[in-house]
């Protein structure tokens, strides 16, 4: 979750430095940007504190491709909640479908449009913030419900005791 006045952190993963540079320039005013040029580095950066709030992930990279990075991130409880947007030249329906099946939230085709990137990053970060707030509220509600259930059980035991103690032998 984005805490306090901290800028949301976006991790850009792409093996092409020019793509990283364009995305960094596009997003640097609103977000804290970090970048990785391969999948292995991306996995390490994803678990580093503070964790990214969103990941822009290329699919076609040497070594570990973006699909495998996504698989591993979604299998890790620490980071599986981080939204992933694929930014890639792979534009076939099958490619997009696989990306969504692996857990990506969105798919931006290269060459990408700067306004589209900005809009989708903003939208997905707003959704993440709302999901994080919902999880916090749900946890608080569960705590309160647990206390109420405990107090109700105590009250029920007390009423049973009073009822049973008033009965004649």
**Residues of 48-73 as b/e, b for ≥16 C-beta within 10 angstroms?**
eeebbbbbbbbbebeebbbbebbebb
Within-domain flag for 159: no
67: domain range?
9-129
Within-domain flag for 98: yes
In sequence order, the β-bridge partners of residue 86 are 57, 107
Overall average pLDDT of the 146-163 stretch: 89
Domains of the chain: total = 1
pLDDT for res 117: 95
Within-domain flag for 139: no
Give the integer Cα–Cα distance in Å for 154 and 79: 40
Q: What is the CATH number of the domain that holds 33?
A: 3.40.50.2300
Within-domain flag for 106: yes
Peptide bond into 134 cis (omega under 30): no
Give the integer Cα–Cα distance in Å for 29 and 11: 15
Within-domain flag for 72: yes
Would you say the pTM of this structure is higher than 0.85? no
Q: Label residue 169 by pLDDT band (50, 70, 90).
A: low
């Amino acid at each position: 979750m984005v805490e306090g006045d901290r800028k949301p952190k976006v991790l850009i993963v792409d093996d092409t430095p020019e793509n990283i540079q364009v995305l960094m320039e596009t997003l640097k005013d609103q977000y804290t940007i970090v970048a990785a040029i391969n999948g292995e580095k991306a996995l390490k950066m994803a678990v580093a504190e503070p964790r990214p709030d969103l990941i822009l992930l290329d699919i076609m990279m040497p070594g570990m491709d973006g699909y495998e990075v996504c698989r591993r991130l979604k299998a890790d409880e620490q980071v599986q909640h981080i939204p992933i947007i694929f930014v890639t030249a792979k534009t076939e329906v099958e490619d997009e479908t696989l990306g969504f099946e692996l857990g990506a939230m969105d798919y931006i085709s290269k060459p990408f449009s700067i306004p589209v990137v900005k809009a989708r990053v903003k939208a997905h970060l707003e959704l993440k913030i709302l999901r994080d707030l919902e999880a916090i509220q749900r946890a608080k509600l569960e705590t309160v419900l647990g206390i109420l259930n405990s107090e109700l059980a105590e009250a029920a035991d007390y009423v049973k005791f009073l009822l049973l103690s008033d009965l004649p032998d």
